[in-house]
Structures are given as C-alpha cells and as structure tokens.
Amino acid sequence: MGKGRAPCCDKSRVKRGPWSPAEDLRLITFIQKHGHENWRALPKQAGLLRCGKSCRLRWINYLRPDVKRGNFSKEEEDTIIMLHQTLGNKWSKIASHLPGRTDNEIKNVWNTNLKKKLAVKDDEEHPKGDESKESSSTSSSSSSTSTIVSSGKGTLEMELDEQKNQGSSTKKPRILENVQDSTPREVSNHQFWPTKKPNELSSSSISSNNSNITNSSQVDVSKPEDDRKGSLLNIRGLYDVHSSLEEVNKPEEIGVEIPLESDYDFWNMLDSLSSFQSGGIQLQNVEAGQSSKFGDAYNNGEVENKKWLRYLENELGLDATKDETHNLSKNVAETLVPENFQYEIPLKPAEVHPGTIGNFHLWPSL
C-alpha cells in the first residue's frame, strides 16, 4: 500500500464514455464464455478498448442479468433509509440487502431522492432553527428517536445488530412512518435485462442459477460458462416490458452463446452498426464489402453462428410485421446481414427506440 501506484490502464489508449451496443454485446459474450476472473486482462482478451475497471463497472451496474431496474418500491426505499441510518454511506452493504439493486443505483437514489425527502421531513419535524437539519439525513445522523422501521429481516437484522455491536452508535435510527410516498421515477428506458416492477421480481425469479444472488459482488460469473448454464445470455427474462412492446415467447432453458473469437466479421459488423448509430453515418455508406464479409462468414457455415443467429431471431421475436420502426430497420439490416439475422438499428435516438433489438432494449438511449 501507499507507494506510487501504476495507473490501472493507459488512459490514452482506452475508450471512455458511454458504451456502445457492440461493446456491451462483446463484454457480455466474453463473460458468458470465459467468466471474469481477471478484469484487468478482460478488455484485451475480449477485444475491447476499455479499461478493466470500466468493464467491471459496466457489467456490475448494467449488464448483469440480475440487475433490477425501474422504480424503487416503497419497501426498498424504506429499507435503504433504514440501512443508511445504521450503515451510513456503505452503498455496497446496503445493496447487498436489495437483490438486483446496485450500489451505484442506490447511491444515486439516495442522493437525488431520499436525501431530499428526509430533509423535507426533517424540516417538518424540526422547523427552522434546528441545526440537525442537513446532517440528520446523512450518515452522521443525529435524529432523536429510536423507532426503526421493521421491514428488515433475517440477515438484515443480523447486520444491523452487527453494526450496533461494532459501535456505530453515532447513527441513530429515524422515524420512518411519515416518509411520503416515493415519487415514482421514470422507468429507465434503457433496458438490457428484464424490467419488472420491484415486487414482481423476486431474487429467485431472476434466473435459475442466480437464485442466491443478492448483490453485485455476489454474482459469480467468474466461473466458465459450463458452470453457469442458463445464467448469462440466457435471454429468457431478457425482455423489456416497455409499454408499447409485447413480450415474446421465451424458451425455458436455452443458453445463448454468441460467437466470440470465432467470427470477427460479426464483431466488425456490430462495430460498424454502432459507429453508424453514434456517428450518424448514412447507412448507404456502410461499405458493401462489410456486409458481404459478414455474409460470407455466415455462409461459410459457422454452425455455431447459425445456431446463435437463428436463436436470436426466434428469441427476439424479430418479426418483420412488428411495426414501422422495425420495418425500417429491417430493410436496413437486410442490407448488412443474411436473411435470418435482423438487428434493429436506431436511426435517430429520439425517433426510434434506441438500443433495442426487437423487444429487447440493448443499450441506453443517448
């Protein structure tokens, strides 16, 4: 410790900023296939121009199959508030009690929502002149009551006890019964994994092999794929409940395996699509060679690829008759890829559903 620390990566050589769908897919595919035993080496192995840290973060906060998105339920908010009283800004610990929620998300919700809510409540309880106002909503809370909300259970209680025993006595519990209804946040429209109302998504429903997952650090995908069949890219459940979209039929136990090193043309195609998406390049300008390249690779018969592409088609319900947007993108996609593979290409993020593949949201709308 302490000594000069080598930078985690060469910042000048890594890409930064928002992730493209191709990068996402590449990361997911790699982890699905190889796990993530070494984050530092992962980007290179996966062919990503990203810092390992960035990959880890992206995975944990966004791409993991068990990430729950959308509004926090009242219960979740109460739990966060309660835990925050005891644990302070230990977001990862708090997250461990909220299956599917990430520390980053909880931190954001706290800073943008719950903190204010509590401040307002404090104002009501301790009208002006009360110096505890701001600090009482933070980890250095000095609220005066000892009533604690009773939504916590099991390990949560144990942890709270533990915290108390460890002498975190500076944090006193807060009365929560007056906390107002949680202001419903917009459901994030960038979905890769299922969006369900919090109450609908029990941790056990996330995926067959992830039933014990409770937080990011507990997701064990460091094992190779064979140990995790049915978890990553087992796209059942990888659907979005976006209002205008229908759920597609999902086979129960199919683990999708996306070809990785086996087909660089595929990745080139994706890269070209994402650069098209982000750079506004006219589709017609996508090199014809690229499409035929991909087509050749496809036709050359990588059986795995075929299986995957066919599965994707079926899985994603990429039915040409879906809607106008899809028809448009279908035409686009057909110029790039063989008949059986369709990829929805957002032309302008504001006009179509960016980051969607059929009914599946793939990356954040930017």
Task: Give the C-alpha separation, 17 to 140, whole Å.
Answer: 34
126 by Cβ neighbours in 10 Å (0-12 / 13-18 / 19+) ranks as: middle
Q: Which is nearer to DNA, 90 or 250 (CB)?
A: 90
Residue 51 contacts residue 88 (beta carbons within 8 Å): no
- Binding segment for DNA (CB under 7 A), chosen from 26-34, 57-65, 148-156, 157-165, is 57-65
Q: How far is the CB of 318 from DNA (least distance, A)?
A: 24
Q: Which is nearer to DNA, 11 or 146 (CB)?
A: 11
Q: Which is nearer to DNA, 45 or 331 (CB)?
A: 45
Going by the DSSP 8-state scheme, the letter that residue 356 receives in this structure is: E
172 lies in the binding site for DNA (CB under 7 A): no
DSSP characters for 61-94? IIISTT---SPPPHHHHHHHHHHHHHH-S-HHHH
Among 39, 132, 319, 325, binds DNA (CB under 7 A): 39
- Binding segment for DNA (CB under 7 A), chosen from 16-24, 145-153, 172-180, 279-287, is 16-24
- Computed over its alpha carbons, how large is the radius of gyration of the chain? 23
SS3 category, 3: coil
Q: Which is nearer to DNA, 73 or 314 (CB)?
A: 73
Site string for DNA, 123-162 (x = CB under 7 A): ----------------x-----------------------
Among 25, 32, 34, 56, binds DNA (CB under 7 A): 56
Q: How far is the CB of 49 from DNA (least distance, A)?
A: 10
Going by the DSSP 8-state scheme, the letter that residue 200 receives in this structure is: G
Among 10, 12, 16, 131, binds DNA (CB under 7 A): 16
- Provide the CA 242 distance to its chain's centre, in angstroms: 16
Going by the DSSP 8-state scheme, the letter that residue 248 receives in this structure is: P
- Binding segment for DNA (CB under 7 A), chosen from 46-54, 122-130, 201-209, 231-239, is 46-54
Tokens of 214: 């409770």
SS3 category, 164: helix
213 by Cβ neighbours in 10 Å (0-12 / 13-18 / 19+) ranks as: buried
Distances (CA, A) of 48 to 54, 113, 122, 184, 273: 10, 35, 48, 36, 16
Q: How far is the CB of 2 from DNA (least distance, A)?
A: 7
Q: How far is the CB of 3 from DNA (least distance, A)?
A: 4
Site for DNA, rule CB under 7 A: 1, 3, 5-6, 8, 11, 16-19, 37-40, 51-54, 56-58, 61-62, 69, 89-93, 103-105, 107-109, 111-113, 139, 183, 185-186, 188, 190, 216-217, 349-350, 364-366
